[in-house]
Amino acid sequence: MLVAEIFQRARALGVAIPAFNIPYLPMLEAVVQAVVAQDSFALVEVARPEWIKFEAGGPAAVAAEFARWRSPDHVRLHLDHIPVIDEDGQRVDYLPIFQEALDLGYESVMVDGSRLPLEENIRATRQVVDLAHARNTPVEAELGAVLGHEAGEPPPYEVLFASGRGFTAVDEARRFVQETQCDWLSVAIGNIHGAIAVGRKDQKKVQARLNLEHLDRLAQATQIPLVLHGGSGIQQAYVLDAMRHGIVKINVGTEIRQPYEVAMKASGSVAQAQQAVYERTAWVLRDFLGIHGLRARLAAPASL
């Protein structure tokens, strides 16, 4: 079954598919084992910052590791956050990265042109859509400013939320989806990324909340599955409500990265760090999102 079909099932069920980021390759095995043990479904994903600022190695390294543990009924491979302009303000030669990922068999991809003016974001996203759709591969895009990856101290969260700074504009979202033909859209509604800048990546993440009324307006305007980046640290009640208001994919990074790093620092043991990731991934699936045992309804053949 194609990932796009699984997403349509999730949307109909009013649940969200978690996408677990892999900044360190040994985390991948633990994530897959936890998803299988919970009989759930998830994406395993890698973003450009995870091979630039961490130790993921790149799309080929992650694809090779994924091939060792793959379980198509439970997990699929997604290319996350390939920016046109990165978190350090540098232009990225992004199209070759997508070509490589498609050649490696990634089943969905994400282009982030959110730091561009709207017109440029539309053009860049459409380039990736044309490339990926030729392979029958869905494309996630981003509109609005999901902050957190940038260097330096961010503005106070309460100021950001109250002002709506960076929130995805409804009229722009409607136009963006129509003109790019992207399949999924990452939106900004109060969510923020976990910090990856040196000196801040170990900090406890802000407990964010979500503007669900704004999410409703975006869901109505776009009529496609919406994506919540920065899923770690958002208050559970908001996340569960967001599933019923159009969010079909939730990115989870900090929630499993920090336990891995803490365990590695304390023990020096990859096995113990993997166990920490396994336990936290299982917690996300079972206790936070409540999607354990959902695999058959999402990824099994239609006859089931």
Torsion of CA 26, 280, 167, 78, to 10 degrees: 40
Alpha helix locations (H) across 226-267?
236-243, 254-267
Sign of the four-CA dihedral 263, 264, 267, 271:
positive
Long-range (24+ apart) CB contacts under 8 A made by 96-101 are: 97/48, 97/59, 98/128, 98/131, 98/132, 99/131, 100/59, 100/60, 101/59, 101/63
Whether the CB-CB separation of 185 and 141 falls below 8 Å is answered with yes
Contacts of 135 (CB under 8 A, 6+ apart): 102
Catalytic residues: 80
Helix H or strand E encompassing 77: strand 75-83
DSSP symbol at 90: -
Q: Residue 2 is which amino acid? A: L
